[in-house]
Amino acid sequence: MAIRDKAFFLTGFWFAFRSDELVRLTFENIKFSMAEPKPGQAPKRRMELYLQTSKTDRESTGRSWQLEELPHLCPVNAMLDWQSARMVENGPVFVKIGRWGNLGDSAIHHNRVSEMMRVTLKKAGIEEGSFSSHSLRRGFANFAKSLDASTKDLMDWVQWSDERSANRYLDTSKSLPMKLLGERITQDKS
């Protein structure tokens, strides 16, 4: 279960998927390849995910995302580990797991995602009160903005059609005074 959940949460976060998009992923719509290495670097594995439909894809044209291996908390490696543990190359990626650890054939229902999150947070000793199935998407959006991602790039990756949609996911800067003070303190120490 831990291998599945790791792949589920890392994929959900880094690709900023809605819970229903995650549970509809199939192995047929995942491709692994080697990315072209940058000069002086080793080649990295790449994962491409394809969604046939999504909430914002009114014409059902589908959309692909690609992500190279990351040094930490990597969805590419987590997905490869999960696929290896499942020993399958087709069907739903995130299947139900029975009480005794038996893997089912059908996908997790999207209503089950919040419960999966609560169980995982509890195991990690984190208060689960403010988390929901949308927390992965919201968390990625705020993480990207904290690293100065442009709103345009964020909207493209997450598939938001307008800034109003994006702004609903982004936290207000409650820590702005502390951030500014922290920058000031750092400058004063120099």
pLDDT digits (tens, 9 = 90+) for 9-25: 999 999 999 899 999 99
Q: Cβ neighbours of residue 132 under 8 Å, at least 6 residues apart?
A: 114, 117
User: What pTM value is reported for the model?
Assistant: 0.82
Number of domains making up the chain: 1
Q: What pLDDT score does 132 carry?
A: 78
Q: What average pLDDT does the structure give for the chain?
A: 84
Indicate which CATH number applies to the domain containing 142: 1.10.443.10
Torsion sign across C-alpha atoms 72, 13, 115, 28: negative
Parent domain of 162: 2-189
Torsion sign across C-alpha atoms 66, 130, 150, 161: positive
Q: Which residues of the chain have pLDDT under 70?
A: 54-57, 172-190
